[in-house]
Amino acid sequence: MLRLTPIDRAKSPLTAVDEEAVRLADVLEDHPGVSGVTDSGVQGDIVFTAAGRSWVLDFQDGPNGEVFQDPADAPAPADGPAADVLRDVVVPTLLAHSAYRAAIADGDTITVRLDTGRHYTLALGPAA
């Protein structure tokens, strides 16, 4: 089983992406079908176990090179193999939290719309 140490929030200031990774990890950790959640990695990747497998959610840069996109920008998720975990675990977990206005899964990507109106896209893949 993959075991990673969660980020120590008291040791260093976090970027906006890091802060969102921490919030996403906390929200996913509350789902009964999810375990071993940690926010790790330079870009704020989130590692978790669901459906008997370890997964990584990876923040994707938008067309302007930024992670967080303005409300007017249209997200462009791609198709892929992790749709069941996104649809059955990640989307309902995010929609139950007040910080998220929408979570739209398409294949192995999910576009998350924040209560601020901005959005970002994450790609889901198996953890190595």
pLDDT in tens, 71-93: 765 544 444 446 788 888 899 99
Give the pLDDT confidence of 29-59 residue by residue, as tens digits: 988 889 988 887 644 588 888 888 888 898 8
Q: How far apart are CA 7 and CA 105, in angstroms?
A: 27
6 backbone φψ class: left, alpha, beta (φ>0; ψ -120 to 50) = beta
Strand partners, 35: 49
| pLDDT-based confidence at residue 12 (cuts at 50, 70, 90) | low
Q: Residue 57: phi, psi to the nearest 5?
A: -100, 125
E strand segments, 1-128: 34-39, 46-50, 53-60, 100-106, 109-114, 119-126
Q: How far apart are CA 53 and CA 67, in angstroms?
A: 26
Q: Considering the entire predicted model, what is its pTM?
A: 0.71
Percent of the chain scoring above 90 in pLDDT: 23
